Amino acid sequence: MGNFRGFIAIDIPSFPKLLEFENEIRNTDSNIRLVEPKNIHITLKFLGDTSEDNIDKIQEIIKESVREIKPFAIKFSDTGAFPNQNYIKIIWIGIQNAELIKKIAYSIDEKLIKLGFEKEKRSFSAHLTIGRVKTAKNKEKLVQILNKYQNTDFFTHNVESIKLKKSERTPKGPIYCGEKKIIKKVDIPI
């Protein structure tokens, strides 16, 4: 078997306020690569180069990590930038009541060590990545939009499953493949 560039995530459906937010960002003419609305997700663990031989083991780790958890709601609100608004690399939407997401992410991270994956060095920050900024072009306009949406309630979503996904890099940005291209379906219900 071969390898794939993998990650574990919660898929999030597109929602109207997200499209509005992305359109305003797009209209700034900033040098930013926005995440396609169909690709929006919460990354629980980036795996990187992953052997297809480990798919079943990863699936078991995900199942173990959600065994005691029932479906739950999360609320998307607020906006911000990593590392900060003075030096914007990532634009994000925040997640309220993310305790269960953090618990799942930490459990997955800890359990994956036995498969040779490195433990995360940074603490987990639950967020939706909306775009990656390439240069400081029109940064002031981006900051204005971030401030405009800072106290906005975007959407509430019921988390019902976690997926092992494949990311393929292309010149136009990554393509995320879920159950169709990853050898077999790996969608773990909560």
Q: What is the pLDDT of residues 3-27, one digit of tens each?
A: 988 999 999 999 999 999 999 999 9
**Is residue 167 very low, low, confident or very high in pLDDT (cuts 50, 70, 90)?**
confident
Catalytic residue among 21, 41, 47, 101: 41
Q: Is residue 175 over pLDDT 80?
A: no
Interval 159-168 mean pLDDT: 89
What predicted TM-score, i.e. pTM, was given to this entire model?
0.86
Distance CA 161, CA 71 (A): 8
DSSP 115-158: GTPPPPSSPP--EEEEEEE-S-TTHHHHHHHHHHTTT-EEEEEE
Q: Which residues contact 124 (CB under 8 A, 6 or more apart)?
A: 101, 102, 105, 106, 109
Mean pLDDT, the chain, whole residue set: 89
Chain centroid, CA 175 distance in Å: 13
**Is residue 166 very low, low, confident or very high in pLDDT (cuts 50, 70, 90)?**
confident
- pLDDT tens digit string along 22-60? 999 999 999 999 999 989 999 999 999 999 999 999 999
Tokens 């929006």 belong to 40
Which residues span the domain enclosing 130? 3-189
**Is residue 72 very low, low, confident or very high in pLDDT (cuts 50, 70, 90)?**
very high
In the chain, pLDDT over 70 holds for what percent of residues?
89
CB 76 within 8 A of CB 95: yes
**Is residue 179 very low, low, confident or very high in pLDDT (cuts 50, 70, 90)?**
very low
Interval 92-118 mean pLDDT: 96
CB 120 within 8 A of CB 46: no
Distance CA 93, CA 61 (A): 28
Interval 141-154 mean pLDDT: 95
| Residue ranges with strand state E in 52-86 | 72-84
Tokens 């929602």 belong to 15
pLDDT at 136: 85
Task: Provide φ and ψ at 100, rounded to 5°.
Answer: -70, -35
Of 91, 85, 95, the closest CA to residue 34 belongs to: 91
Q: How many domains does the chain have?
A: 1
**Is residue 187 very low, low, confident or very high in pLDDT (cuts 50, 70, 90)?**
low
Catalytic residue among 6, 65, 107, 127: 127
Length of the chain in residues, anyone? 190
Active site residue 41: yes
CATH number of the domain that 117 lies in?
Answer: 3.90.1140.10
Active site residue 127: yes
Of 57, 69, 83, the closest CA to residue 10 belongs to: 69
